[in-house]
Amino acid sequence: MRTQGEIELASLTEKTVRELPAPERGNKVHYFAGAVLQGAKAPRGLGVRVTAAGAKSFVLNYRIGRREFRYTIGQWPDWSVLKAVKEARELRQRVDRGENPLADRAPPAATDTVAEMLDEFLKRHVRDNLRSASYTERTIERLIKPRIGKLGIYEFRRLDVVRMLDEIADERGPVMADRTLAILRKACNWHATRDEEFDPPIVKGMARTKPKERKRKRNLADSEIREVWASLESADVPACYPAYVKSLLLTATRRSEAAKMNTIEIEGDLWTVPGERYKTKLDHVIPLTAQARALIGSKPEGFKGNSWFVFSSTGGGKPFSGFSKAKKALDAEIAARRAADNREPMPRWTLHDLRRTARSLMSRAKVSADHAERVLGHVIGGVRETYDRHEYLEEKREALAKLAAMIDRILNPAPSNVATLDEHRAARRP
């Protein structure tokens, strides 16, 4: 179980442990197998782990079958060398009898579990500092805690992380596994700044994909857009879901931004996404086309307030949130339609792909790149970001109108014997 940088020394005394150097970063384990102290021989696997902060602990590494384990005996000088050697000998005898000391160890205190570490990470760092707080918390609660939450923070190893990632990759794909890994890595690194004894078990190379592979480039083809629109009408989804999904393409917004659209944010044909829930932390104004306004609908029956969430499965009181379940139902409907026609399954797609598709459609509609980027709410960097405060409302209104017109043409294509104006002009060019 030795890793790069771990070494083995022959002598083991209080002076030896006191003089062990601290590594520049991380930790280093010094092994003392075979050393004799007052007639007690150190068993194989006994070592002293030294952290970059200088903290030193006695550990015992052992193997059961093909699995490797590391048992933390205790911190020096609370544990003397002689006491640690005797404890290690007893532990090694248990291992030789086929027992697993870690499995029989009393559960760690609540503050020493991975779950508790993650709770502290959420409380003290995530909720007040990260825009992605809700996503991070959902990932921790659904994917990390059920798998490794009960493990002690000093006992959970790389193999535990690897197995967790294997399960997530099998169930949800390698990209989701990498996103989960990134959250766990951030939590472990955060905790390491507060605990000199903690050694994060995450190392380089655990990611399942390369950065270029994680960068999605999926755009829906015209036929796929028609397929999604048609399937929305017959899929077993909440009543608000079809309009919600269509709004993502018509407004080129992100999933959560559209889901939390409230009538209080709409004035005339302008929808202002407040900065506190927008990625750039700036208010983002979106002109609503006639097609987008038609999706908003009227006040829910029986709702008593003056403003309500536009896309709600609870009568306007709460924003729509059942993304995964509804998307699975929509995908199932698309798959059923394709199977009935003996066609291949539709390639995997996400709701965010609609935003990317909207950007591509604007380019097809001859919208300038600058104006299309403004529609997406992207900040234009450099001097222009500092001095150009023009909100480009008219330009965005025109761009979204062209986008809506393009979507209309896709949903209602002209007969094959009818050429578009652009096709007619291209045919006349010499």
Q: What is the average per-residue pLDDT within 341-348?
A: 92
Mean pLDDT of 73-89: 88
What does the pLDDT read at residue 212? 63
- What is the residue-averaged pLDDT of the chain? 85
195-218 mean pLDDT: 78
Q: How many Å apart are CA 369 and CA 352, to the nearest integer? A: 19
pLDDT at 25: 73
Residue 2: predicted pLDDT:
44
Q: For the chain, give the number of residues.
A: 430
Determine the residue type at 145.
K
Q: Between these two residues, 40 and 273, which has the higher pLDDT value? A: 273
Q: What is the pLDDT of residue 5?
A: 41
Q: Using CB atoms within 10 A of its CB, is residue 119 exposed (0-12), middle (13-18) or buried (19+)?
A: middle
Lowest mean pLDDT of 58-62, 150-154, 195-199, 368-372, name the range: 195-199
Which of 146, 70, 152 has its CA nearest to residue 109? 152
247: nearest Cα among 188, 307, 294? 294
Q: What is the pLDDT of residue 107?
A: 53
How far from chain centre, in Å, is Cα 154? Answer: 25
DSSP code at position 113: B
Task: Count CB-CB contacts under 10 A for residue 394.
Answer: 11
pLDDT at 69: 81
What is the secondary structure of 202-222 as a DSSP string? --TT--SS-HHHHS------H
Tell me the C-alpha to C-alpha distance, in Å, between residue 176 and each of 173, 181, 182, 190: 6, 9, 10, 21
Residues 157, 223 contacting (CB under 8 angstroms): no
- What's the pLDDT at 198? 80
Domains (range + CATH), the chain: 7-105 (3.30.160.390), 111-214 (1.10.150.130), 222-423 (1.10.443.10)
Residue 351 pLDDT level (bands cut at 50, 70, 90): very high
Nearest to 144 by CA among 123, 161, 121, 127: 161
What pLDDT is stored for residue 425 in this prediction?
58
pLDDT confidence bin for 408, thresholds 50/70/90: very high
Lowest mean pLDDT among 1-5, 179-183, 239-243, 423-427: 1-5
pLDDT above 90 covers a percentage of the chain that reads: 44
Quote the CA–CA distance of 286 and 289 in Å, as a whole number: 9
Distance CA 360, CA 225 (A): 13
Alpha helix positions (H), 270-351: 290-294, 323-340
Q: What tokens were used for 114? A: 């991975």
Q: What is the mean pLDDT of residues 183-198?
A: 86
